[in-house]
Structure 1
Amino acid sequence: MLSLPSRSQTLRGRFEADGYLPLPGLLDPDSLTALRAEARRLELSAARRDFSMECMAGSPRHMTTLGGLQIAQESPLISGLYQGADLLAFLASVLGGEVATVGDPVERHVLNILHREGDTHGAHTDDYPLALVLFLEAPPRPEDGGVLEFSPGHQDLDELNSATTRRAHHQPGEGYLLRSDRTAHRVTPLNRPGIRRTVLNLAYTVPGRQAPTTPSASLLYG
């Protein structure tokens, strides 16, 4: 289902330097269509989140989400994708070490949907080392919002307001890999009505690291 780069070891240096690796063409048209239809079906059970995370300096969450437990129960398609042997081997090659699935099904995979003007996924780092993000829907232009902002090599959320911040706009069918526990990141607000940003966020860890380090920063809430 995923079109993974064949020479993944050559990407390791870029990932180590930036904490971010773009993956264009990750989903072929058929896979994108199938996952988009699955996301629309699952969205009927998703919950709205509108709050700020005080533990992260009031970082806002305005989005609709569906957590991993429900996805595991309702979507064999996504569960199978998450545990794919080829994907795990690719991630291990890029990381340069063994990669493990997350034991807690709530944390494994999350559907995040921005679909209202002003929807945003505020500044944060994640509990687990790796986040693979698949774009099922995306705003057509960077100026529409929904853009990833990240600060390579920095966990401090304040760095996202500095000159070190980088920005990446993605199209449907693309993906990226993020060293999400060590890289401060956020998604900019949608700037107009009628646009959507739907992503599937797959979390992975390393052997011996299963307990979340900051439970309040759970992927389920952003």
Structure 2
Amino acid sequence: MATTATALNPVFEEKDALCEDLDRVLRDHYERVLSEDYIREKSQQLLREGYMKVTEILPPETMQALSAEVKDIIEKTSRRIDIQIAATGNSPRKMSTVNYENFMSEGTLVPALYKSAAMRSFLDRIAGHPVEDCAYAAERITATKQEKPGDTHGWHWGDHMYALIFIVQAPEIDAGGMLQCIPATRWNKENPRIHELMTQFPINTYYHATGDIYFFRTDTTLHRTYPLERDCTRIILNYTYSGPDDHHRPKTHETTQAIYEF
């Protein structure tokens, strides 16, 4: 199909043109593969677990194009960090990061997909309410790369309601890097109590292969990536979104500032 070829090789002078073409690709894709039963099943899983895998949200060709752009931007702009975050109980961050400004200056498909009306409409239906641009712009689009033994995005919550995560590259399951979640928890930045929560509630562990995509409640789901156990590569693209709950709670962004603002 011409639209798929365009998604694979987006050559446009204006990002608005890319957004329009991308929305056509996604609308056609959703009509073919996303049923009402699928929406209902995923919505219920999100309510139960605070998490759901939605790899079907993108055609494989579009995911391939997105991944190629992310890898290119990581190679050009990433910064290695090895820090601990006090607001999450001094949990570690050992990885390379790419920030919002990098993606806006270097990317085409990545920022266009964030703004896609078709994909946002799909997320609205899953969430049961509007999924909005993250109110804190610096948190809207970020990426991380883990590649050394011990690399991890340690236990934390998100400042805003939702994240959509694209697995650009993943190691085999025996290398680590799985997502671990404790849903239905709240972040007290003065007293995060992470070790207590780990002993009080079950920890759900999810493996994702290269090309997988998942959507989850980051503000009420304590989560981390299991540390890598050998040299390998795990790359993710993170879209952060706001929702209705974000309008009623004050926000601070010390975690984002420490990890991504450079």
TM-score by structure 2 length?
0.77
Give the counterpart of 1:147 among 175, 178, 184. 178
What SS does the corresponding residue of 2:184 show, helix, strand or coil?
coil
Structure having the larger proportion of residues in helix = 2
Q: Is the 8 A contact 1:66 1:220 kept in 2?
A: no
Using the TM superposition, give the Cα deviation of residue 119 of structure 1 relative to its aligned residue in structure 2, in angstroms.
0.7
Q: 1:77 aligns with which of 109, 129, 136?
A: 109
- Structure label with greater radius of gyration: 2
In the alignment, the residues of structure 2 paired with residue 136 and residue 161 of structure 1 have an alpha-carbon distance, to the nearest angstrom, of 32
**2:70–2:110: 8 Å Cα contact kept in structure 1?**
no
* Cα distance in 2 between the residues matched to 1:26 and 1:157: 32
Please list every run of 5 or more consecutive structure 1 residues that lacks an aligned counterpart in the other structure: none
Distance 1:22 1:208 in 2: 22
CA–CA separation in structure 2 for the residues paired with 1:72 and 1:16: 32
State the alpha-carbon separation in 2 of the partners of residues 161 and 112 from structure 1: 28
The share of aligned pairs that are identical, in percent, is 28
Aligned length: 220
- Which structure would you say has the larger RCO, counting Cα contacts within 8 Å and 6 or more residues apart? 1
Structure with the higher fraction of residues in strand conformation: 1
**In the alignment, is residue 100 of structure 1 matched against residue 100 of structure 2?**
no
CA displacement 1:115-162 (0-9 Å, x = unmatched) = 112110000000110000010100122x21101000121236332355
> Who is 1:206 aligned against?
243
1:113 and 2:145 matched: yes
- TM-score by length of structure 1 reads 0.90
- The runs of at least 4 aligned residues of structure 1 exceeding 4 Å deviation read 1-4
1:17 maps to what in 2?
Answer: 48
- CA change 1:157–1:197 in 2 (3 A) is same
- SS of the aligned residue for 1:151 comes to strand
Q: CA RMSD in A?
A: 2.3
User: Does structure 1 retain, via aligned residues, the 8 Å contact 2:46–2:52?
Assistant: yes
Structure 2 residue runs of 5 or longer lacking an equivalent are: 1-21, 187-192
